[in-house]
A = this chain, B = another copy of it.
Amino acid sequence: MLPPVTGDTGETGVAPPSLATLDDVARRAGVSPATASRALSDHPHVAATTRARVREAAAALDYVASPEASRLAGGRTGRVAALVPHPARWFFGELLEGLEGELRAADLDLLLFRVGGPEERADFFRRLPARRKVDAVVVLAAPVDVAEQARLASLGVAVVVAGGRLAPYPSVGIDDHVAGRQAVDHLVHLGHRRIGLLTTADDARAGAWRAALADAGIAPDDELVATVAPGGEGGADGMARLLGLRHPPTAVFAHDDETALGAVRTLRRAGLRVPEDLSVIGVDDHPLAALADLTTVAQPVRTQGRRAGQLVLAALHGEHPDTAELLPTRLVLRGSTSPPAGGAPR
């Protein structure tokens, strides 16, 4: 145990450890601790004058309730767990910031749980370290299977999903199909006919690619689909694969900006110019996308985090917001897309 640092209780501006307990306040106000408690926590059935007297006493004593005691007795923890696959990634970091802000404002603390790989996920759900420690769990764009959902239920806590959707829980996210359409439609409008796809497993945006092409009367060519690992390196690899085709695409839609940036690197190394030789578009509006002059479909990530926070608060208030909110996405035109080399046919 770390002994409290001694000495220097002087007027240095450092507050002395607040020692006043609820009993002290009650005594000073001439009421029972029970009443004092009720008065301070805005319960009904407390006379206005009594409440005032208690408040005054509390203020005079610099009283601050001990959260530990309060929560032990009251059942709540005042904490929320965030399950995040990869905190260092911009998308999750941004989500976290939004969430944190909202929770902080409500005086809730945020516990960070990294659940990246399958084994970490398994470990989390096996040990359920969040047990007893939080009032709610926010799942950030992480997959949760049915067994794990049951496990979550056994925690008896509220669950909220951000950056995606998950069957029975309230969630915030974007409409991946719409986002995908915005991207691919843009390429189509520019006149591209041979549009490649850099997708990750299980990607709703891939469906949009297919649909957009179909609508434009173009038969989706599976040869143009490269399934890649998430992240820039994956994008680089995938692009290389597409370049190896006999008829490479004239434009590529990447699942996200990092993937797109990887693709751009491969193109550069191959001596190809973007967008003259090949157009590239991503999704996210990652800050570095602006630096790389990447056309993209922007999504409001921070806002998703904030909304998730609000959903948590609602859930904690006993509401059961049965929503699956979808936030709007927006095409951001930059310098990585242009009509295909030969000019738009037609």
- Chain B residue numbers with a CB within 8 Å of A189 are none
Separation in Å of the A123 CB from the closest CB of chain B? 8
Q: List 10 A-B contacts (CB under 8 A).
A: A2-B135, A8-B150, A17-B156, A64-B131, A104-B129, A110-B111, A110-B112, A111-B111, A231-B287, A236-B291
- Whether the pair B69, A4 counts as a contact (CB closer than 8 A) is no
**A49 CB within 8 Å of chain B:** no
Q: Helix, strand, loop or mixed for chain A's interface?
A: mixed
Separation in Å of the A236 CB from the closest CB of chain B? 7
Separation in Å of the A63 CB from the closest CB of chain B? 8
**A68 CB within 8 Å of chain B:** yes
- Whether the pair B268, A4 counts as a contact (CB closer than 8 A) is no
* Complex: A77 Cα to B111 Cα, angstroms: 13
**A245 CB within 8 Å of chain B:** no
- Whether the pair B72, A96 counts as a contact (CB closer than 8 A) is no
- Chain B residue numbers with a CB within 8 Å of A265 are 290-293
Interface mask (A1-22 → B, CB under 8 Å = 1, otherwise 0): 1111100100011111111000
From B8, B97, B114, B258, A100 is in contact (CB under 8 Å) with B114
**A309 CB within 8 Å of chain B:** no
